[in-house]
A and B are shown apart, each in its own frame.
Chain A
Amino acid sequence: MSEVSVTKDAGGPEPATDKLVVLDNINKHFGALHVLQDIDLTIARGEVVVVIGPSGSGKSTLCRTINRLETVDSGSITIDDKPLPEEGRELAKLRADVGMVFQSFNLFAHKTVLENVTLGQTKVRRTDKQTAEQKGRALLDRVGVGNQADKYPAQLSGGQQQRVAIARALAMDPKVMLFDEPTSALDPEMINEVLEVMQQLARDGMTMVVVTHEMGFARSAANRVVFMADGRIVEEATPEQFFSNPRSDRAKDFLSKILHH
């Protein structure tokens, strides 16, 4: 896990291909609220970055700006050396390369589980139906819901729905996966089945940005922890460093509150 270097504060210039996602001086306001303040963040290929912080700190918003579900007021975002285009066909094309998993699953309610996983392949990638279904079924097996393929999302448990959502994102062969609090809407007993899938994904070398409150996951799967508070990145460190020896008072305060129970 530690063979991927922490890019922030790293010495010499790295080869450009290693930087998959680069956020440069991002600012965003919601009305008077300055939700993202001068955010700089670089995510290397194959890196797993976990973003944590108190609610309202802007971490979800940050995650959503990476595929432009939220627009930014200033600053630049590049993915694989391509700057995020304006709304339109180009942006749609780029979004297909960025997987996204939502807190509330957002599976297409009127489509079966299998259709959820094949829809993007056939409509966006223009894969033929048979190939898409084969791949869809393989992915559903991989996340452990292969036997639910013909059901509708509402017939599945939360944990199963979220695993289908992960499969749906993976079906697009994304370069990077964004997870926006993927376990926050789940019953406690279902959190682990989702985390296990994510952990496996991390081991397989997927580039991941994970906004979560699961400190266990941050500890075991992250290459780097980004701590946000009040719209700023307060601290970036390896999980070992961050959890055992946080530098900022804000992080110490946050950790003392959540690690006590």
Chain B
Amino acid sequence: MNVLLDNLALFREGFLGTLWLTVVSALLAVVLGLLIAGFRVSPVPPLRIFGTLWVNVLRNTPLTLLFLVAFFVVPKVLFPGVDSFVLAVCACGFYTSSFVAEAVRSGINTVPMGQAEAARAIGMTFTQTMRIVVLPQATRSVIPPLSSIFIALTKNTAVAGAFDNVDLFNIQKTLSNDGYDIAVIFIWITLGYLVITYAINGLFRLLEKGLEVAR
């Protein structure tokens, strides 16, 4: 039972690695997801096509394949010498952004058409209409699916562990090479993931409650 205490520093490193990967990828996914959702409902056809392609390509590609592309194609062809953390964040963030975009788009669809029409009728541009009128009202219905998406993201970051990023999944390999009991390692690793996913769970529950009051 000394796996944890003997390797506290390593566990800490792994936990923070997973946490950091999750947070940065989630931020990237939200920014890109909002943008792509905007593209998909925009009045400009090329943007709509781009948005649809983005979602369909990324959502339908296995994450591991995206990682293979990110780690073996991108550095060779486009940007040699990029940090493996950046590559992992890009793979996870891009992949998750397609799910975020669809969740946001479903939220946009819950806002009655008349709201956007009224905003356009007083002279707001498309971006203003989205930012000031539609998205704030869409938020409430986007929160529950987003929490599922981010929990899935947390677990997906394990793939990055297989690609040379130090995270919870990655230290598991190190520890079992050191000869510790695999079952005990797994228990502690699982607890590490649960801490993060439950935190996401709680955070989104708070968000949902907060938004309930605001109208």
Chain A residues within 8 Å of B, Cβ to Cβ: 67, 69, 87-89, 92-100, 102, 104-110, 119-120, 123-124, 152, 154, 165, 168-169, 172
Question: In the complex the two chains form, what is the Cα distance from A152 to B215 in whole Å?
Answer: 7
Cβ–Cβ contact A108 & B133, under 8 A: yes
The residue of chain A having its C-beta at the shortest distance from the C-beta of B117 within the complex is: A69
Contact residues, B15-33 vs A (CB, 8 A): none
Question: In the complex the two chains form, what is the Cα distance from A124 to B125 in whole Å?
Answer: 9
Q: Which among A87, A88, A120, A152 is the interface contact of B122 at CB below 8 angstroms? A: A120
B199 to chain A, nearest CB (A): 28
Chain B residues within 8 Å of A, Cβ to Cβ: 43-44, 112, 114-115, 117-126, 128, 132-133, 136-137, 214-215
A88 to chain B, nearest CB (A): 8
A84 to chain B, nearest CB (A): 13
Cβ–Cβ contact B137 & A109, under 8 A: yes
User: Known contacts A120-B123, A123-B128; is A104 also within 8 Å of B114 by CB?
Assistant: yes
Write 5 A-B pairs (CB below 8 A) sorted by A numbering: A87-B44, A107-B118, A108-B119, A154-B215, A172-B123
Most chain A CB neighbours (cut-off 10 Å) among B114, B119, B121, B132: B121
Question: In the complex the two chains form, what is the Cα distance from A168 to B215 in whole Å?
Answer: 20
- Main SS at interface, chain B: helix
Q: Which among B43, B115, B125, B132 is the interface contact of A106 at CB below 8 angstroms? A: B115
Most chain A CB neighbours (cut-off 10 Å) among B44, B114, B122: B122
Cβ–Cβ contact B124 & A123, under 8 A: yes
Q: Which among B43, B122, B136 is the interface contact of A95 at CB below 8 angstroms? A: B122
Cβ–Cβ contact B117 & A169, under 8 A: no
Question: In the complex the two chains form, what is the Cα distance from A87 to B120 in whole Å?
Answer: 11
A194 to chain B, nearest CB (A): 17
A64 to chain B, nearest CB (A): 9
Enumerate chain A residues within 8 angstroms of B215, measured Cβ to Cβ.
109-110, 152, 154
User: Known contacts A87-B43, A119-B132; is A106 also within 8 Å of B124 by CB?
Assistant: no
Most chain A CB neighbours (cut-off 10 Å) among B44, B112, B123: B123
User: Known contacts A110-B136, A119-B132; is A92 also within 8 Å of B114 by CB?
Assistant: no
Enumerate chain A residues within 8 angstroms of B128, measured Cβ to Cβ.
123-124
Q: Which among A69, A104, A107, A154 is the interface contact of B121 at CB below 8 angstroms? A: A69
Question: In the complex the two chains form, what is the Cα distance from A109 to B116 in whole Å?
Answer: 11
The residue of chain A having its C-beta at the shortest distance from the C-beta of B131 within the complex is: A123
The residue of chain A having its C-beta at the shortest distance from the C-beta of B140 within the complex is: A110
Q: Please name 16 further chain A to chain B contacts, defined as beta carbons within 8 Å, in addition to the given A92-B120, A92-B124, A95-B123, sorted by A numbering.
A: A87-B126, A88-B125, A92-B123, A95-B122, A100-B122, A104-B114, A106-B118, A108-B118, A110-B215, A119-B132, A124-B124, A124-B128, A168-B118, A169-B121, A169-B122, A172-B122
Question: In the complex the two chains form, what is the Cα distance from A94 to B124 in whole Å?
Answer: 10
Enumerate chain B residues within 8 angstroms of A94, measured Cβ to Cβ.
123
Enumerate chain B residues within 8 angstroms of A96, measured Cβ to Cβ.
122-123
Question: In the complex the two chains form, what is the Cα distance from A67 to B124 in whole Å?
Answer: 13
Question: In the complex the two chains form, what is the Cα distance from A242 to B122 in whole Å?
Answer: 33
Question: In the complex the two chains form, what is the Cα distance from A168 to B119 in whole Å?
Answer: 11
Enumerate chain B residues within 8 angstroms of A107, measured Cβ to Cβ.
118
Enumerate chain B residues within 8 angstroms of A168, measured Cβ to Cβ.
118, 122
Question: In the complex the two chains form, what is the Cα distance from A98 to B123 in whole Å?
Answer: 9
Cβ–Cβ contact A69 & B123, under 8 A: no
Enumerate chain A residues within 8 angstroms of B126, measured Cβ to Cβ.
87
The residue of chain A having its C-beta at the shortest distance from the C-beta of B44 within the complex is: A87
Question: In the complex the two chains form, what is the Cα distance from A119 to B120 in whole Å?
Answer: 12
B113 to chain A, nearest CB (A): 9
User: Known contacts A106-B115, A110-B215, A119-B132; is A89 also within 8 Å of B121 by CB?
Assistant: no
Enumerate chain B residues within 8 angstroms of A98, measured Cβ to Cβ.
121
Cβ–Cβ contact A95 & B133, under 8 A: no
Enumerate chain A residues within 8 angstroms of B137, measured Cβ to Cβ.
109-110
Question: In the complex the two chains form, what is the Cα distance from A172 to B123 in whole Å?
Answer: 9
User: Known contacts A109-B137, A119-B132, A152-B215; is A124 also within 8 Å of B123 by CB?
Assistant: yes
User: Known contacts A104-B114, A109-B137, A110-B136; is A89 also within 8 Å of B122 by CB?
Assistant: no
Question: In the complex the two chains form, what is the Cα distance from A193 to B144 in whole Å?
Answer: 42
Cβ–Cβ contact B122 & A106, under 8 A: no
Cβ–Cβ contact A102 & B133, under 8 A: no
